[in-house]
Amino acid sequence: MKLKHLHAKKSAFSQSLKTFSKHPFFGIVLLSGAFLILQFIGMAGLILPSTLNQIALVLIYYIVGLGFTLLLGYAGLASLGTAGFIGLGTYVIAVFTDYLGLPTELGVIVGITLSIVLGTIVGFISLRIEGMYLAIVTLGISEILVEVFGKWTVTKSGAPYTIFKMMFLGLEIKQTDIYSVVYYFIIIALFLVMVGTINIIKSPTGRAMLAMKNSTSAAQAMGISLIKYRLLAFILATFTAGLGGALYFLKYSTTNPLSWGLALSLNILAAVVIGGMKNIYGVFVGTFIVFGLNDLLLKRIDFFNQYPSAFMIINGALIILVVMFYPGGVIRLFTDIKHMFMKLYQKVNLAWKEYRYGKDN
């Protein structure tokens, strides 16, 4: 009787686990948990601090990429100003904390708010122009921001702006910290942004954005407000960019105007396109390829140390291959491989059953 009761409990647990594994948030919990464990492994001395720093950078750009996914993949709106909005998030914290002597928390809030305000302005502009012209406008705004970062006396006129020690939420954050507490803030932000993104994608808002991307005329005919969803798309994209900038400065305690140029915006665009514009896990794969693959893996190979530009060639080739053969991104390749193995398993299983049936008879 006791064994039967234990078996029933075990069966109920396995059923609950199976149900949860099919939940949309299962992958998010798994991914966030895995990166959280990496910090503990690092503290145990099994991972180099430089590796964890690079992983943190990948996660920050992934958070930014999720907002860009909603903008490009679902709303169909182009932007080349992402880097400028990230830079804005970093510089506002630096100026508020160091120059004005105000709380870091206020700098984070104001930086994200300013990014959202600029996103709202660009959203209104998108009602008049779109496509390549909209991308050029966002690039122009980004270049203005970069010029301000580089020339304004308050931001130390083009020099990197570094703060060696600051307080955030009652915690002291030092640039010399090997295993910074900010890493946990990045994981929390990652989890919340992923949950928010997947909720938007699966909601009527996500479907409305997708309809707007496919045909603005058809979307309007169905009663979808272009102004509402274009504004929302830009607000969400600039919010994640401002948040990414805030997390970047909290983590690395430094910002440089040269970091927030067109190259970074194009790399984020490449990460989203390579990974898959409509899949949050695809965006992670793309972000890892663009921002982490070289530093975390390829630099350990002598060839890539001797020819550092070889990685850029690989990136370019990947973009060409994805656009030509896998418009859904690299994630589609994994899906196809999975289906191929499932078909192979079914064939082997069927052949085995036929063999057993023939043997029994």
* 191 vs 180 pLDDT, higher one: 191
pLDDT for the residue numbered 129 = 83
Residue 87: pLDDT over 90? yes
pLDDT, tens digit, for every residue of 215-274? 888 888 888 888 889 999 999 999 999 999 999 999 998 999 888 988 999 999 999 988
Domain count, the chain: 1
The whole model's pTM is what? Answer: 0.89
In a domain, 305, yes or no: no
Answer whether residue 57 is part of any domain.
yes
pLDDT for the residue 113? 93
Q: Is 298 among the domain residues?
A: no
Q: What percent of the chain has pLDDT over 70?
A: 93
Residue 200 belongs to domain spanning: 28-260
Residue 215 lies in a domain: yes
Q: What is the pLDDT of residue 359?
A: 61
pLDDT attached to residue 240: 95
Q: Is residue 132 part of a domain?
A: yes
- 144 domain-assigned: yes
Compare 82 and 2 and report the one with higher pLDDT: 82
Answer yes or no: is 118 within a domain: yes
3-state SS of the chain?
A: CHHHHHHHHHHHHHHHHHHHHCCCCHHHHHHHHHHHHHHHHHHCCCCCHHHHHHHHHHHHHHHHHHHHHHHHHHCCCCCCCHHHHHHHHHHHHHHHHHHCCCCHHHHHHHHHHHHHHHHHHHHHHCCCCCCHHHHHHHHHHHHHHHHHHHHCHHHCCCCCEECCEEEECCEEEECCCCCCCHHHHHHHHHHHHHHHHHHHHHCHHHHHHHHHHHCHHHHHHCCCCHHHHHHHHHHHHHHHHHHHHHHHHHHHCEECHHHHCHHHHHHHHHHHHHHCCCCHHHHHHHHHHHHCHHHHCHHHCHHHHHCCCHHHHHHHHHHHHHHHHCCCCHHHHHHHHHHHHHHHHHHHHHHHHHHHHHHHC
Q: Is residue 47 one of the residues assigned to a domain?
A: yes
Confidence at 11, pLDDT banded by 50, 70, 90: low
| Predicted confidence (pLDDT) per residue in 305-315, tens digit | 888 778 888 88
